[in-house]
Amino acid sequence: MALSTLSRSIRGEVAIVTGAASGMGRATAHLFGDEGAKVALIDINEAPLQAVVKEMTDEGYDAKGWILDLCDKDEISRVITEIGEHFGGIDILINNAGISIGGPIDGDDYLAAWDKTFAVLLTAHVLTIRAALPFLRRSANARIVNIASTEGLGATKFGSPYTAAKTGVIGLTRSLAVELGPEAITVNCICPGPINT
């Protein structure tokens, strides 16, 4: 379903998409471009990110890319602020970036996988939201969309870091929806199943 079937237009609004260099992030960035939004694309992988930015600008979209390691707290704040200043605001934040590191609970690398998974899949959501809030609070139609997973509703063997983090994304979304709703900032969560990317 196209966004244009919704009750309002997002033409001219500023949308941030993390994990925009491939897969769902790339598709989401293009969709927002199709609807006339100004799109800030964030990813850690420079070459594919620049390729997506080129695709979009060649099609006439107002898009710009930022290289960002979502494990770097200070860089998150700097980049989100730079995006808000570049475009003159932020209206929509799509927390899409993700990784999946599996392994048994007693594996030698388990705790490293746990820390990295939570840093990218959950803590980065919190940090991007916190950095974007001053801009979102000035928007007439502020929206936050966190991408979780069906893994947050179920489980797969040897995937406990991913499952736990995605379950956390769902809980974070519910809590922030209640907290920020009175400020007219809508917070939603999407739980995709397996995607062929």
Q: Which residues are part of the catalytic machinery? A: 162
Q: Output the six-digit token pair for 35.
A: 């609807």
Name the nearest CA neighbour of 139 among 81, 93, 78, 185: 185
The identity of residue 181, as a single letter, is G
The identity of residue 142, as a single letter, is A
Integer angstrom CA distances of residue 170 from 147, 149, 175, 180:
9, 9, 9, 15
| Residues 25 and 17: beta-carbon distance below 8 Å | yes
| Residues 67 and 21: beta-carbon distance below 8 Å | no
CA distance 18 to 44: 9
CA distance 122 to 98: 9
